[in-house]
A and B are shown apart, each in its own frame.
Chain A
Amino acid sequence: MRHRSISIILTLLLVAAACGGEEETEPATPSPSGATPATTDQPDEDRDSTTSESGESAPPADDRGSAEPPSPTEPAGTGDAPDDATAPDDATAEASDRSGGELILAVEQWPECLNPVTSCANSTWMIWSVATHLLPSLMELDPDNAYRPSPTLLEEPTVENGGLAVADDGTFTLTYRLNPEAAWSDGTPFTSTDVWFTWRARLDTEGSLSTIGYELISDIDASDPHTAVVTFPESYAPWRDLFGFVLPAHALGPDTNIAGKWNDEIPISGGPWLQESWGQDQHILVPNDNYWVPERRPLVDRVVMVPREDTDSEVVALQTGEVMAAFPQPFPGAVQRLTGDLEFIGGGGTYLEGLWINQNAPDRRFEVTRNIRQAVAYSLDRELIAAVALGSIIEDPLVLQCAGWNPTVGEWCAEDFAHYTQDLGKVAELLTEEGWTRPDPDGLWVNPDGQELVLQWNTVAGNKRREDVQALVSEMTAPFGIGWEIINYDPGELFQNRLPVMNFGPVALYASSTSPDPSVQSLYDIEGIPTEANGFTGQNFTAYASQEASDLAAEIDRQVDATARLALVHELGTLLATDVPWIPLYLLPNLLVWNSSLVEGPGAYTFSVYGGFKDIYDWRVIG
């Protein structure tokens, strides 16, 4: 009798648990279309970046441009689908090229939700595992993180083809010529109405994560379905960073506030894949046979992504073949552990780690002046720090020499900070200049008020790499008379509760990613220093209050000419290296691992901001 009762209870529990799982894996309504990846200066608490997405205080939505849909154009869903978009013959022909099989990938941080406009997009993995495969962009990044027109465009807007124009009154017009073959997965044409809708959704959605750049747009003319004319009141140089994903107006509209939508599914695709289902246990993609780009049609029949949040378990799953590829955070001992059939590419990366110095830190005992900041920079052996932090992961880790917002592609990153090497004489000179003394030659510097030169330093508790760096630096700067008070917090506390309200530091160690073509003004704008008065909006998280830097940053954002812009970037870099609002350390490498006995093709996008899975349409399952 007792045994029977236990059996019944066990069975009921099993069924209850199973029912929960079944609900999660219920396939979503298969429908078309997609969207492409957004650029990522999204914060990610484990890769950890700053909350760089949110920011500027923006005027009310009604002031930012017409909230009425463009009248001359019918909603895209009512238009005729281009022949190619639904051409069954083409699709069948492509499908025959498919090698088949099921690709199983490990996802290290499972997104909480999928809405690409709201806080759901705060997860880098939402971009890497979901948005980049489904949502189309206008401009896109190639594997080297250089911008190029995506398949939704016929050409890149340039001055020569009339795509970029500055009127006499300073008005800046950006004209996107859309590919008439582009279509959503349900056959609805991809039109300028979608561009207009995306703009409005970024601005009108309650809790929109970022409106950077979008709030500067004064209007988008969508009267021609195949041409989107975007107007700015003045030049906007980082325009390539806009429309990192475009939303289907016919599926999400007409209300441009999409706050409650697409929490657990993206039913329309404009990318190579369709979402079959998404739940807490797995994410399944199948080929979008209506995708209009033949060379990007998937080779496998299905992709299954599963959460593997523990690095050790992730490696075991790779070794056992339960997952075929992973894009893990770089971990100590990677070189030694990834052996046998496991192949990997490590290096590059888009996350820059360094010391961010908060000049408005509430706990500072004395003003952390420019001289002090420079003295700290002169007390560090950054080559050694990089070697200790990353030596067991990759060979020759890259020491950063440019300011924290600089993309590490192209010519943006110069050698601005290269002169900061350990120099006891410089430290003494800088501190003595401000009245600091060192009564004990082996002790700490002391200011005229008797305070020792000890700086509070925060980072993520339990992050071994960073805690190792803290231990090393503490030892390293002691001979220079600089001490540290280390107080670390869990990621939620540091990145959600402290950093956005400037309650950290004055020194914090974390990583930040940046767009390959960022908007600079928001980062150094004096008005962009988060304060209680402005509701802690803004992205100037070092509270670096330099009018010269603020003006230069604004000028960089307005300068459309690439050469002139680069000159300004380097001018700003020189200024930042003098004022030292941050001290660059190293570039966090990306790591793409795959089981070479099970899959072939990975690697091209290892260093991409889209993540290593961007090109899974080109991967093949072996056997």
Chain B
Amino acid sequence: MIGYALRRLAITVPVLVVISFGTFWAAGEISSPTAQLTLNPRISPEAKQAYIELLGLDRPLHVQYGKWLGNFVTGDFGTSLVKNGQDVWPFVERALANTLLLVAAAVSLSLLIGLAVGTISAIRQGSLWDYTSVGVSFLGISIPVFWLGLMLQLFFGLYLANWLGVGPPLLPTAGIYSPGQQGFDLLDRVRHLVLPTMALSLQLVAVYSRYMRASMLEVMGADYIRTARSKGLRERRVVVRHGMRSALVPVTTQAAIDIGQLVGGLIVTERVFQYPGMGVLFLDALEGGDYAVLLPTVMITAVAVFGLNLAADLLYGVLDPRVRLGRGRRVAARG
């Protein structure tokens, strides 16, 4: 396992370097790091030169990149000229924490529901439940998040409260705290998580339930399941202990990959719910030409995607006894 992990890392690191270089180059093309300086004649030549030297912008591209990468790896994200010289890290830290929380909530909820729905569908293949869940899954996959978000806002924020004749909306439609709230309030924070989590989860539940259903159908027809049944094990034990464990493998790895992608890919959900996460930070940086924020945002997303892909591969080995990472050849030779 360790050998496999190291080999994967050995492949992943160069890919990340290539991606980071591409990102570095592209960010510079999209948004000049010195735009704020060159556009403002009242920034002194000395200050401009100092900033250029700080970033190594007077040196070849690969040297600039090396300098930036060194700083990035050591956690020095620099300062943003667009934000009047403020440190970039606090903005990224806050956005990252918010996004991770949303992703964790959505993926956890989706796994919980998706696995249950998929398993029941597989066990009751061809039943009304199965047809209904498959239909709902297709619906879930097809509904665009921006529309779903808006519908959830209207339903929980407006219509439901009107029907029930209550004053304030049952669930807040945007933000991470109620206006005026200062300091940490767990309940308020959780209430603000509900709608974005629901919007994000619908598609994930649909995907996971489809995966789980297909996986369970395959597993439940396997020889070892037949063997388990022939030994007289209770059906519940066969399904949960032997069936679900194997069927979980593709779903779990898919969830790990999803988390990586969601870290940087929640632009629509975050925008609709005014949720201050990485997607909104990226969008604002792109629109505002904030080179200093754009770079770490993209890089963190890339690292998350690759890191969680690696984690997914490793998890595969842990969850599936048939897979022995790093010893695949020996297993094959024996077979």
Contacts and interface: CB of A to CB of B under 8 A. Distances in A.
A263 B288 contact: no
Interface stretch (B90-98, B126-134, B219-227, B301-309): B90-98
Contact of B272 (A58, A306, A313): A313
Nearest to A302: B180
Contacts of A312: 150, 272
Contacts of B190: 14
A319 interface: yes
Interface stretch (A15-23, A502-510, A556-564, A606-614): A15-23
Given A263-B84, A312-B150, A207 B43 contact: yes
A13 B97 CA distance: 7
A508 B183 CA distance: 47
B172 to A, nearest CB: 7
B84 A259 contact: yes
B153 interface: yes
Contact of B86 (A20, A24, A263, A321): A263
B181 to A, nearest CB: 7
B157 interface: yes
A20 B98 contact: yes
B104 A13 contact: yes
Contacts of B272: 310, 312-313
Interface in A51-89: 51, 54-55, 57-58
B150 A207 contact: no
B176 A21 contact: yes
A206 interface: yes
A322 B104 contact: no
Interface string A125-154: 000000000000000000000000000000
Contacts of A500: 39
A320 interface: yes
A58 B153 CA distance: 52
A306 B101 contact: no
Which size class do A's interface residues fall under? Answer: 35 or more
Contacts of B316: none
Nearest to A323: B179
A414 to B, nearest CB: 33
A496 interface: yes
Most buried by B among A280, A307, A322: A322
A223 interface: no
Contacts of B3: none
Interface string A144-181: 00000000000000000000000000000000000000
Contacts of B157: 316-317, 319-320, 322
Interface string A460-492: 000000000000000000000000000000111
A194 B318 CA distance: 69
A310 B42 contact: no
A537 B39 CA distance: 8
Nearest to A264: B86
B182 A17 contact: no
Interface residues of B, number: 67
B184 interface: yes
Contacts of A519: none
Interface string B139-164: 00000000001100110011001000
Nearest to A104: B179
Interface in A189-226: 205-209, 211
Interface stretch (A113-121, A434-442, A544-552): A113-121
A9 interface: yes
A319 B169 CA distance: 10
Contacts of B104: 9-10, 13
A536 interface: yes
A572 B83 CA distance: 39
B300 interface: no
Contacts of B73: none
A530 to B, nearest CB: 10
A20 B40 contact: no
Contacts of B254: none
Contacts of A18: 184, 186, 189
B274 A309 contact: yes
- Which residue among A18, A120, A209, A312 has the maximum number of chain B CB atoms within 10 Å of its CB? A18
B98 A17 contact: yes
Contacts of B273: 313
Nearest to A319: B158
A536 B38 contact: yes
Contact of B85 (A19, A263, A302): A263
Nearest to A123: B288
A112 interface: yes
B101 A16 contact: yes
A298 B280 CA distance: 34
A45 B272 CA distance: 20
A312 B153 CA distance: 10
A307 B183 CA distance: 18
Given A45-B288, A317-B173, A113 B41 contact: no
Given A302-B180, A313-B272, A209 B40 contact: yes
B41 to A, nearest CB: 4
A29 interface: no
B41 A17 contact: no
A313 B42 contact: no
A277 B80 CA distance: 22
B269 to A, nearest CB: 11
A280 B83 contact: no
Contacts of A17: 94, 97-98, 100-101, 176, 189
Given A316-B173, A317-B173, A113 B288 contact: no
B189 to A, nearest CB: 6
B78 to A, nearest CB: 15
A497 interface: yes
Interface string B176-196: 110111111010011000000
A19 to B, nearest CB: 7
Interface stretch (B5-13, B29-37, B61-69, B230-238): B29-37
A206 B39 contact: no
B76 interface: no
Contact of A316 (B35, B91, B158, B183): B158
Contacts of A1: none
A25 B150 CA distance: 27
B260 to A, nearest CB: 16
Contact of A207 (B40, B153, B180, B181): B40
B150 A6 contact: no
B174 interface: yes
A395 interface: no
A323 B1 CA distance: 54
B168 interface: yes
Contacts of A537: 41
A52 to B, nearest CB: 13
B242 interface: no
B47 interface: yes
Counting from the closest, the 3 A-B pairs by CB-CB distance are A492-B289, A20-B94, A320-B157
13 contacts: A21-B94, A22-B182, A45-B287, A57-B41, A58-B41, A112-B290, A207-B47, A281-B175, A316-B173, A319-B157, A322-B157, A493-B30, A537-B41
Given A25-B181, A260-B84, 13 more contacts: A16-B97, A20-B97, A23-B90, A102-B179, A207-B43, A281-B276, A307-B274, A313-B174, A320-B168, A322-B172, A322-B179, A492-B289, A497-B289
Interface of B: 30-32, 35-36, 38-44, 47, 80-86, 90-91, 93-94, 97-98, 100-101, 104-105, 108, 149-150, 153-154, 157-158, 161, 167-169, 172-177, 179-184, 186, 189-190, 271-274, 276, 280, 286-290
